[in-house]
Each structure stands twice: as structure tokens, then as C-alpha cells.
Amino acid sequence: MVSGRSSTARRRAPLALKILVAGGFGVGKTTLVGAVSEIRPLRTEEDLSEVGRPVDDTGGVEAKTTTTVAMDFGRITLREDLVLYLFGTPGQDRFWFLWDELAQGSLGAVVLADTRRLADSFAAVDYFERRGIPFTVAVNCFEGTERFPATSVRAALDLDAGVPLLLCDARERESVKTVLVTVVEHALDLVDPGHRHATS
């Protein structure tokens, strides 16, 4: 039987997966989405104002002048039949109410971490653990910061043995792509242990 246009189109449609990019305030989420997105990333940056000072914890990132107030959005084609839609979460506590909405339908998540302020990533790790959303931790290596062995970071974050942890530079496309491939592989391993490696 000759297949119609719609079935051909269906066959060719790439697999689209939703990935969250989470982590504490100023850890590099917006930077990460911008580094890999092949479309102009949607950003929702607002100035960090004096009004927000009492509620926004800017300790350690005093040079930061803006913050994400809703989400970042970007897209990357990992392979011709595999597209990722990236949703960056806002980093500050006052935006927690948005997370459940953003997390809906996501395959997995990256938790970005900064070793100078690891505790800022605890909430994101807890969030994904509680909801059973597969996640990978990526330590964003800012220049001049001390490098800690992966085992210490794992212990500090109290990660389960199966959770991948890797180092990255959120500004570097290739580095971020490696993180995203790890997220997808890990998530697919959990949801479908028999899957053929979708990103290889």
C-alpha cells in the first residue's frame, strides 16, 4: 500500500524531548541554554532591582545584574531525528510556583551546580528526586574556582550512585552538548532500559 503524505511526515518527524535546566541562582542556566540553542533563545530576564534585594539571595554573585523571572527556552537538534526542547528554570526561591508547570512532560533534567554555592542546588536535586524525574548533575566550572573531586561533590549533594555527574562549561556548546547527551541517555536508560542508544 502506498503511504500517504501524512504517514510519511509522521515517520520523518523527529523525536522531540523536553529537558529542564535547573539549579541555584546565577549558576549559569540561561548561559547554558543560550550556548547551544539553534534558535534565538527566549529569555525572560529582568533587572535585579533594589526592590528585590530583600528577597533575592545574591550572595556570591554580586556582579549579576539580571535574573530569569519565568523561563529560558531553546532548541537543539542532537541528531536529525532527535530534537531537544530546553526549558531553563528561574533560579530564585520566589519563582518556585512555576516549577510544576515547567516540569510537566519533561523527560529529564540537568541540575547545574557551582561548587562555591553547592547548597543552592540542593532544592533542585530534592525536587527531581521526589518526583522521580531523571536528572544529571553538571558542575559549571567557573574560572578561578577550586576543583573538587567528583566523589566529594556527590557526597555533598547526597546523590544516588546512578545519578551521572560531570563537569562542564555552560558557555561552551560542545561541553553543553555532552551534558545533554548524558541527560537523555540516563533518562532513556531509566524509562526504557532496553532502548537502543538513541543519541549514539
Ligand X SMILES: Nc1nc2c(ncn2[C@@H]2O[C@H](COP(=O)(O)OP(=O)(O)OP(=O)(O)O)[C@@H](O)[C@H]2O)c(=O)[nH]1
Interaction site with ligand X (CB under 6 A): 25-31, 64, 67-68, 90-91, 140, 142-143, 169-171
CB of 174 to ligand X, least distance (A): 13
Q: Which of 145, 182, 169, 146 is nearest to 31 (CA)?
A: 169
Q: Looking only at residues 110 through 149 of this chain, which bind Mg ion when binding is defined by CB under 5 A?
A: none
As a residue count, the chain comes to 200
CB 127 within 8 A of CB 177: no
Q: Which stretch binds Mg ion (CB under 5 A): 9-17, 21-29, 99-107, 108-116?
A: 21-29
Cβ proximity to Mg ion: between 113 and 159 the closer is 113
Q: What residues have CB less than 8 Å from 65, skipping those under 6 apart? A: 47, 48
**DSSP character at residue 177:** H
- State the binding partner of 41 from ligand X, Mg ion, none, CB within 5 to 8 A by kind: none
68 interacts with Mg ion by CB under 5 A: yes
43 interacts with Mg ion by CB under 5 A: no
Residue by residue, DSSP assigns 36-103 as: H-SSPPB--EEE--TTTTTTS--TT-TT--EEESS-EEEEEEEETTEEEEEEEPP-SGGGGGGHHHHH
30 interacts with Mg ion by CB under 5 A: yes
> How does strand 72-79 pair with strand 15-23?
unpaired
- Residues touching Mg ion, count (CB under 5 A): 3
Cβ proximity to Mg ion: between 88 and 186 the closer is 88
Cβ proximity to ligand X: between 34 and 108 the closer is 34
- State the binding partner of 80 from Mg ion, ligand X, none, CB within 5 to 8 A by kind: none
Q: State the residues that interact with Mg ion by CB under 5 A.
A: 29-30, 68
